[in-house]
Structure 1
C-alpha cells in the first residue's frame, strides 16, 4: 500500500455519464489533494462513463485512475476498488452522489493525523444528507445522540440506537486494512450489498471516531434507482441473499474479541435489515413471499438460536412480523406513513 495516499475514494460507476463529473469535482475539491486517490471503477458501462473517467485521469495524473471491467454489479465494482486501493483509508462514493467541500477538508484533517500513529483509527463515522429530487428540505442523518464527537471511542461507548437508526455505507470511512482483514467479498450482480459493506468488517474495528459534519450527499429519487419502492419489491430476493451473508458474518456474543457493545450493535443492525427485507416481502402482496418471510426467520433460528432470540426480540422485528393479514396491513400502512415523513424512497 502506498502510504503517501491517505484516502482512496472508490467510485463504482455503471452508465453514470450524467452524474460522474459532479461526483469527481466534489472529490477533487480540496486544493491539497496530492495524498487523495480516486478510483473510478467503470462496471461495463454502455454510455460515456469510461470516457469521462479517462478524461479526469488525464487531467489529474497520480490522483484519478480509471479502471474498466466487465459488468459485475455494484458489489463487483466495490470489490475491485478495495483490491486496488492504495490509500490508508477507503471510502465508497456512488457515482451519482457527492461529498461536501467543507466536510472533505475536515475529514482529511482527521485522517492525516493518523498517518504516523502507532495505533491509527479503524473507522471514521460522518453524517450524511438525503438529497431527494424535488425536496427543498434535505434530511440530515447524524449520530450525535449515540456517539460522542471528536473523540476516539469503542463499540462499548455507543449509546442506544433508535428503532430504525443504523450506520450505513455513506457514513463510513474504513482503514483499508480493516476491510481486507475482514475477508469481505461482496456478491456480484446483487443490489443492496451496502448492507454487507456496513456490517461484515465491524468485528475487526476496535477504534471509532465520529466527526459531526454532513460529508456524504445521497442523491435519491431519480427514476429507476435501486431504492425506489417498486424496484425493491422486484428485487426482494436479493435482499434475502444479502441477509444470508450478513447472518453468517454475525459473531456470537461469546466469541473471542466480541465486546458487548459490538454484539449489541450488530444484532440491532441485523434486526433492521431482516425487518426491511420482511417489509418488502409483505409489500409484494405475493403469497409465495409470505412463505419466504417465514423461511428467512427460520434460517436465522437454525443458524444460531441465540442470535435468533436476540434479533427476533427487537421491537422492529416484532413490529414487522405481526401475524396474519391484519398484521401485513399494518406493516403496509406504517411503511407509507414513514416514507411520507422521511422521504427515504
Structure 2
C-alpha cells in the first residue's frame, strides 16, 4: 500500500501540468499520483499517459467525461490506494525539501501507535507579478511537530484558515465522512476541507512551506471577474456548507468555533462578490443567501448577521455597498486573494 495518494485534477492543463507532476515525482515509490483527465480537449490526456508509461509504479491516469473540479477530486478519492490523500491542482506545485519532510513525518506516524487524521502544512501564494510571496502559516494556531487534538488548538487570526492547499487527510476518513463534491461546480475546495472536520480527532502541524499556490491568470477560477461570473457556484458551495452540519450540535467548543468562523468568511466572500458585481439581481441574491441561512439555522444566522463581518456586508443602501467594496479591496490587497 502506498503512503500518500496525490490527485491532480486536470482540465486542458497542457501548458503547466508538467511542472506540477515533476515536483511530485520526487516522492518516489511511497507516493501514488492519480492524474484525473476531466474531459480535456487539448493534449492533457496524451501528456498524462506519457508520464504514466514512464512511471508505471507511481502514476495512474483516469480519463473521464467532464464533471468539473469536484468530480475530479471525487474520482481521485475513489481510486486512491494510499493511506493519506492530497489534492494538488495542475497549475500548482510543491517544494521538494518540505515534501521530503512531510513524507518522513507520515512514515513515522504510520510506524507509531497513534492514528493521524489530518496533517497541516504552510502554503505560499505564488502570485504572478508579486515581489513578495505571502505565506499562509499556522504556527500561531497549532502546536508543532506533535500529534494533537482540537483541545490543543490555539488562536486563529482572521484570514488564517485551513485550506485545501494546506491539508492532507487520512484517506479512510474521507470515505467514512461520505464526502461527495458536487459536479460542474467550482470552489468545492472549501467543502473538501470543511465537511470532514468533525471526523478529525488527531492532527499534526509541520511548519514547512510545502504547497505553492499559483495565482494570477486572468482565466483562473479565483480571479475576481471569473468568480463573479460563477457566483451561483460559489453560493451553491456556501449553502452546502451551511447544510453540512448544525454546528451548534458539535460538542468540542474549539471545533465549533472554528467551523462557525469558516462559514462566516465564506458567506462574507459570497456577499462581497455579489455586492461588487454592482447589479440589482446579484444584490437580491445576497439577501436571498442570508434568508436561506436564517431558514436553515437561526442561531447561526444571528451569530453571523450581527457579528463584525455580517454587519459589514449588510450595510444599507448604495453608501453601504461602497464601504463593503472598499473593505474588500483592503482585504484583497492584504491577503493576495483573487
TM over 0.5: yes
Select the residue among 286, 302, 324 that pairs with 2:279: 286
8 Å CA contact 2:8–2:34 kept in 1: the answer is yes
Structure 2 Cα separation of the partners of residues 163 and 129 of structure 1: 17
8 Å CA contact 1:10–1:81 kept in 2: the answer is yes
- Tell me, which stretches of 5 or more residues in structure 1 are unaligned? none
**Pair 1:306 & 2:299 matched:** yes
Structure 2 Cα separation of the partners of residues 179 and 275 of structure 1: 27
Structure 1 Cα separation of the partners of residues 132 and 182 of structure 2: 35
Structure 2 Cα separation of the partners of residues 168 and 286 of structure 1: 30
Structure 2 Cα separation of the partners of residues 185 and 269 of structure 1: 19
- The TM-score normalised by the length of structure 2 is 0.97
**Pair 1:150 & 2:141 matched:** no
Structure 2 Cα separation of the partners of residues 313 and 203 of structure 1: 25
8 Å CA contact 1:148–1:210 kept in 2: the answer is yes
**Pair 1:14 & 2:7 matched:** no
Select the residue among 284, 288, 292 that pairs with 1:295: 288
- 111-120 or 91-100: bigger deviation: 111-120
Residue by residue, what CA displacement relative to the aligned partner does 1:72-125 show, whole Å, maximum 9, x if unpaired?
A: 000010000001000000000000000000000010011112223443110001
Residue 268 (structure 2) aligns with = 275
8 Å CA contact 2:159–2:335 kept in 1: the answer is no
CA shift for structure 1 position 340? 3.0
CA shift for structure 1 position 343? 2.7
Select the residue among 192, 200, 212 that pairs with 2:195: 200
**Pair 1:337 & 2:330 matched:** yes
SS of 1:18 mapped into structure 2: coil
Residue by residue, what CA displacement relative to the aligned partner does 1:278-309 show, whole Å, maximum 9, x if unpaired?
A: 01110111112112111111211111222223
SS of 2:109 mapped into structure 1: coil
- 115-124 or 41-50: bigger deviation: 115-124
Select the residue among 176, 179, 182 that pairs with 1:184: 179
- The TM-score normalised by the length of structure 1 is 0.95
Distance 1:253 1:118, change over 3 A: farther
Residue 211 (structure 2) aligns with = 216
Structure 1 Cα separation of the partners of residues 309 and 152 of structure 2: 23
CA shift for structure 1 position 215? 0.4
CA RMSD of aligned residues (A): 1.3
Residue 100 (structure 1) aligns with = 95
**Number of residue pairs the alignment of both structures matches:** 338
Structure 1 Cα separation of the partners of residues 322 and 306 of structure 2: 21
**Pair 1:68 & 2:63 matched:** yes
SS of 2:213 mapped into structure 1: strand
CA shift for structure 1 position 312? 2.8
SS of 1:174 mapped into structure 2: strand
- 327-336 or 200-209: bigger deviation: 327-336
SS of 1:39 mapped into structure 2: strand
Structure 1 Cα separation of the partners of residues 26 and 210 of structure 2: 13
Select the residue among 204, 224, 230 that pairs with 1:229: 224
Structure 2 Cα separation of the partners of residues 289 and 239 of structure 1: 12
Residue by residue, what CA displacement relative to the aligned partner does 1:146-179 show, whole Å, maximum 9, x if unpaired?
A: 1121121212222232222211100000000111
